[in-house]
Structure 1
Amino acid sequence: MQTFRTPSTTADADRPATLPAGLGRRSFLGLALGAGAVLTLAACGSDATPATAGGTGGTLKWGWALPTSWDPVTSSAGWDVHVLSLVYAGLTKENEKGDPVPALAESWKYTADGTSVTFTLRKGTTFSDGTPLDATAVKKSIERGRDHPKSLIAAQLANIKTVTAPDAGTLTLSLAKPDFQLPALFAGKTGMVVNPKAFEAGADAAALATKPAGAGPFTLTSYVQNSRAVLRRNPTYWDAARIKTENFEVYPLPEPSTVVAALQSGQYNVAQIPGSQVEAAKAAGLQVQVIPSLVVATLDVNIKKAPFTDPDVALALKYAIDRQELLKATAFGHGEVSYQPFPKGYVGHNDELDDLYPYNPQKARELLAKAGHADGVELTITTSVAQGVPELVQAQLKKVGITAKIEVIPASQATQIIYIQHSRALFTDQFAGRDSAVQAFQVLFGEQGLMNPGRTVDPELTAALDVVRRTPLESPEYPKLLQKATSIAVRSMPNVFLYTVPRILARSPKVSEIPAFTVVQRFEGVTAS
């Protein structure tokens, strides 16, 4: 049986002390990579005596993004995971390298065939309102994610046949087929445990969209839609000793032209900034951290829409793009050219793909001629970004005979138009990565994948991913099998990957260094004075 146990001390919580030999070397990341109504909430647990030490005062003001929903089941953006992690906890979390490590579960065991996994929960944990967080509560939360008619995480949980809670501290999942990805999957939105009191009979489950009910490091105390979320440290959080900031505020993504001034004025003391503002932030005396992430800029191609119904046109697009020029001009060199969904150092990154589709206008023109477009072809670039990438892509396509017009749609409508209605041929986007590598493949290339607008699948890729699921994460074969799946996906699917997008955070000198978590940004140990 595959076993994972928690380290013996809280200080070592991110260091997998008893991982099977070699997993550290085969880690997920081998390198550190309009205003609505005001909603006021009870600060559940905020007046309780802290169960552990921590909380040194101060307020962290984060210019980042507000979630599409505070309910992890109906949240529609991968980006939401960063803020939802402030108010929810999962059975697992991921350390700086991307390895799944204990969180609400202190250990887990798989059966040898991978068709059942048992989690042992920490004793004495509660939700932020004081309700016991036991195996029955986790069971109900998982079943809701799998079975809720509007669940956007259901596809990731479909393989779970039954969830049983034989006692308060034990949870067993029986699977339809082997799947060793669950510890990684449960580190993200899919594994966030929602308090059943918020959705069981008599509860207004729809309220979860604005009133989260979790067991995370903070509790939401007030929320102004599209404007601000105010949170307070949760003293009953299982790892509360490492949460030093007493208050936390989250704001929408700042305007690039004003973010440095807003940081100087104190409107924020930590904020996401674009590459274009790095030098200005440094000149203003701000601290700047460039944290590797799983985000990659992409062009999403719908091969059921002309002119991409011809595979040669879709292939020509990959050679027509000068990724280095895009990286330099739009990201000011922060990031790396990429031809695949995973960054260098990630276990799924395949080095053989590093220059698979080099900029080659002549080859692009030849492929277009082969498709019957020797005299050129017209298309539309749909985007939710007013300037930058779309204009440069438009200019690059013109050089190979593709005349493109630009259509700008509201970001709030992009998911509906592009990924639900499937009504556009080409869209500029960014893929936020996922905690589980197989989940990332599902989102990008799966039959129901949100970022697969054509909803086409490759049987060879499906078979390769099935093998990956059946392989324990600590197996020496796992990296090779995952990289094989990456190669099949990149060669067979139409997605055009452009460059990696690091998380660039500027902060006041009064805020301590932000931990470099590659997958989900967390704030253990951060202080603000």
Structure 2
Amino acid sequence: MTSATPPLPVRRPPDPPPRPAPDRRSVLGLALGAGGSLLLSACGGVATTGAGGGGETLRWGWDLPSSWDPVFSSKGWDVHLLSLVYSGLTQLDAKGGAKPALASSWRYSHDGRRLTFTLRRGLRFADGTPVNAEAVKKSVERGKNHPKSLIASQLTSIDTVRAPDAHTVVLQLTEADYQLPALLAGKTGMVVSPTAFGKDEARLATRPVGHGPFRLVSYTQNSMASLRRDPGYWNAEHIAVERFEAYPKPDETTALAALQSGRLNVAQIPFSQVEAAREAGFTVQLIPSMVVRVLDVNTAMKPFDDPAVLKALKYAVDRQALLDSEQFGHGEVDHQPFPPGYTGFDPALGAVYRHDPERARALLREAGHHDGVEVTITTAQPQGAPEQLQAQLNRAGFRARIEVIPEARASQVVYVQHSRALYLDQFAGRESPVQAMQVLFGAEGLMNPSRRTTPELDAAVAAVRRTPLESPRYPEVLRAATAVAVRTMPNVFLYTVPRALARTSSVSAIPSLPVVQRFEGVTAG
């Protein structure tokens, strides 16, 4: 749908009570999305200011959500804006661990098949509905059972949901699953007002009703979202920004101009502009993220149905050269699905497929491909990395060509129709590492184009699911699963993709969090 939705009427919440200044000790830095270039109008009485100007408004350019309803949201990056208006039972800390949010605590039964959450008291959704156990029960059941739910596949381990009293939610599980506190920290666990989806479910696509740090007060589809701080939010004392404005991302070449003109006060900039931004007087944060550049390989198609050809591919790629060319050296060469420093990253893997074109050639010859082998690099990126990758493969004995397809069709062609053998993509981690592995490697995984896996990997992932997050063994078990995935699955991981965040002097540093972006302690004036 491309037409603009009529804006919501502006609903002004009462002025918040005085609150203590944010604790700056915990403010680190997390990249925002690509900066927008739209000229801001005064929204809700907020005047537009120039670069470095004051005001309690954070102005952010990012892709507006595919839907404001988390059950029907179809894009992974929607989670960042949805987290402004919704909360889950849990949230993630800076290391990816689960900590309390709407739930103040939780506990598992001895066999891991019952998970009990205790809710905070006195909270309400944006429509005034109490955030109680019955509301959480109905919201979880909707995500699990709605015939059109896009999160149902992540909730299959939940058998039943009970609300024995107003502040207790009990999840009865089909098997021991200790990943749920992490999984429920993201879009899968966002709690929606049952009054809202019971009255007019379709309305949630443009008019979200949750309990979050902000409330949406006006929205024009594909144009602008204006939000105000909710003083009733469970963690409101740590939300300093009064107004939040989100805009569609512009062409990346205009990001600096948007900052200089005051259209935005925070912007994601391309790596090629990092030095220019610093020279212009902006603070630039290069923030590690969960995004890893990857070649997705379909082993059900030639030539990668031959294990020797697949192994040759992994040795043919010069990851450092690609990183230097594409990202001006910002990031790290990475042979696995998780970035260095994350719990699931296995340091013991090292450079398991170090660049070795001669070894690649030898593998191809041993497989009978003395004159090389033809391969098509499918990409939505017309220039840059695909061309360099083509040259690398050709030097290693392949005969590579490039096929460019529209980005809007890529998911359908590669991951639904399974009709391409090699696709240059990137993967953003999920709240739960098991969820990430299911998406990448599972037999039904969305980003597994061949829909093939191995019994060894299935067993390793199942062991992670059965291990409590707080167990001393958990990091070891998770890293073992990572090692199995890297050695047995076809994905060719390349390098990490940090976020280059430029901000004006009016905006303080933004917390560094692994997946879902939050804004505790951030000031914008």
Please name the residue that 1:136 is paired with.
Answer: 134
Q: 1:104: Cα distance to partner?
A: 0.3
Residues 54 and 266 from structure 1, CA distance in 2 versus in 1: closer, same or farther, beyond 3 angstroms? Answer: farther
Aligned mate of 2:211, from 205, 212, 215: 215
Contact 2:4 2:223 in 1 (8 A): no
Q: 1:227: Cα distance to partner?
A: 3.2
Matches within 5 A, 1:31-70: 36-43=3-10, 46-48=12-14, 50=16, 53=19, 58-70=56-68
Q: Which amino acid aligns with 1:71?
A: D
Query: What are structure 1's unaligned runs of at least 5 residues?
Result: 1-33
Alignment pair present for 1:331 and 2:298: no
Q: Which amino acid aligns with 1:494?
A: P
Please name the residue that 1:461 is paired with.
Answer: 457
Please name the residue that 1:259 is paired with.
Answer: 255
Q: 1:488: Cα distance to partner?
A: 0.6
Distance between the aligned counterparts of 1:185 and 1:358, measured in 2?
A: 33
What fraction of aligned residue pairs are identical, expressed as a percent?
A: 61
Q: Which amino acid aligns with 1:196?
A: P
Distance between the aligned counterparts of 1:523 and 1:366, measured in 2?
A: 52
Residues 380 and 468 from structure 1, CA distance in 2 versus in 1: closer, same or farther, beyond 3 angstroms? Answer: same
Residues 207 and 303 from structure 1, CA distance in 2 versus in 1: closer, same or farther, beyond 3 angstroms? Answer: farther
Give SS of 1:257's match: helix
Q: 1:454: Cα distance to partner?
A: 0.9
Contact 1:228 1:250 in 2 (8 A): yes
Q: 1:168: Cα distance to partner?
A: 1.1
Query: What are structure 2's unaligned runs of at least 5 residues?
Result: 22-53
Alignment pair present for 1:447 and 2:443: yes
Alignment pair present for 1:240 and 2:236: yes
Please name the residue that 1:81 is paired with.
Answer: 79
Give SS of 1:198's match: helix
Q: Which amino acid aligns with 1:302?
A: N
Alignment pair present for 1:381 and 2:377: yes
Contact 1:339 1:498 in 2 (8 A): yes
Distance between the aligned counterparts of 1:501 and 1:52, measured in 2?
A: 40
> What is the RMSD computed on CA atoms of the aligned residues?
1.9
Please name the residue that 2:486 is paired with.
Answer: 490
Contact 2:317 2:393 in 1 (8 A): yes
Q: 1:478: Cα distance to partner?
A: 0.9
Out of 400-409 and 297-306, give the one that drifted further: 400-409
Contact 1:54 1:244 in 2 (8 A): no
Please name the residue that 2:514 is paired with.
Answer: 518
Contact 1:128 1:237 in 2 (8 A): no
Residues 460 and 77 from structure 1, CA distance in 2 versus in 1: closer, same or farther, beyond 3 angstroms? Answer: same
Please name the residue that 1:206 is paired with.
Answer: 202
Q: 1:57: Cα distance to partner?
A: 5.5
Alignment pair present for 1:426 and 2:422: yes
Give a deviation string over 1:458-517, Cα, whole Å, max 9, x none: 111111111111111111111111111001111111111010111221111111111112
Residues 69 and 348 from structure 1, CA distance in 2 versus in 1: closer, same or farther, beyond 3 angstroms? Answer: same
Please name the residue that 1:340 is paired with.
Answer: 336
Please name the residue that 2:40 is paired with.
Answer: none
Contact 1:128 1:236 in 2 (8 A): no
Residues 123 and 352 from structure 1, CA distance in 2 versus in 1: closer, same or farther, beyond 3 angstroms? Answer: same
Contact 1:230 1:250 in 2 (8 A): yes
Please name the residue that 1:121 is paired with.
Answer: 119
Contact 2:13 2:230 in 1 (8 A): no
Aligned mate of 1:282, from 274, 278, 283: 278
Distance between the aligned counterparts of 1:188 and 1:389, measured in 2?
A: 31
Contact 1:302 1:453 in 2 (8 A): yes
Distance between the aligned counterparts of 1:153 and 1:168, measured in 2?
A: 25
Contact 1:73 1:153 in 2 (8 A): yes
Please name the residue that 1:17 is paired with.
Answer: none
Distance between the aligned counterparts of 1:39 and 1:340, measured in 2?
A: 45
Please name the residue that 1:170 is paired with.
Answer: 168
Residues 377 and 325 from structure 1, CA distance in 2 versus in 1: closer, same or farther, beyond 3 angstroms? Answer: same
Contact 1:120 1:169 in 2 (8 A): yes
Q: 1:375: Cα distance to partner?
A: 1.1
Residues 213 and 407 from structure 1, CA distance in 2 versus in 1: closer, same or farther, beyond 3 angstroms? Answer: farther
Q: Please give the TM-score of this superposition, normalised by the length of structure 2.
A: 0.90
Residues 165 and 466 from structure 1, CA distance in 2 versus in 1: closer, same or farther, beyond 3 angstroms? Answer: same
Aligned mate of 1:311, from 301, 307, 312: 307
Q: What is the aligned residue count?
A: 493
Matches within 5 A, 1:22-37: 36-37=3-4
Q: 1:52: Cα distance to partner?
A: 7.2
Q: Which amino acid aligns with 2:134?
A: T
Alignment pair present for 1:154 and 2:120: no
Distance between the aligned counterparts of 1:165 and 1:354, measured in 2?
A: 48
Please name the residue that 2:31 is paired with.
Answer: none
Please name the residue that 1:322 is paired with.
Answer: 318
Out of 406-415 and 181-190, give the one that drifted further: 406-415
Q: 1:51: Cα distance to partner?
A: 6.7
Please name the residue that 2:178 is paired with.
Answer: 180
Distance between the aligned counterparts of 1:119 and 1:466, measured in 2?
A: 23
Contact 1:43 1:219 in 2 (8 A): no
Distance between the aligned counterparts of 1:473 and 1:495, measured in 2?
A: 26
Distance between the aligned counterparts of 2:150 and 2:369, measured in 1?
A: 40
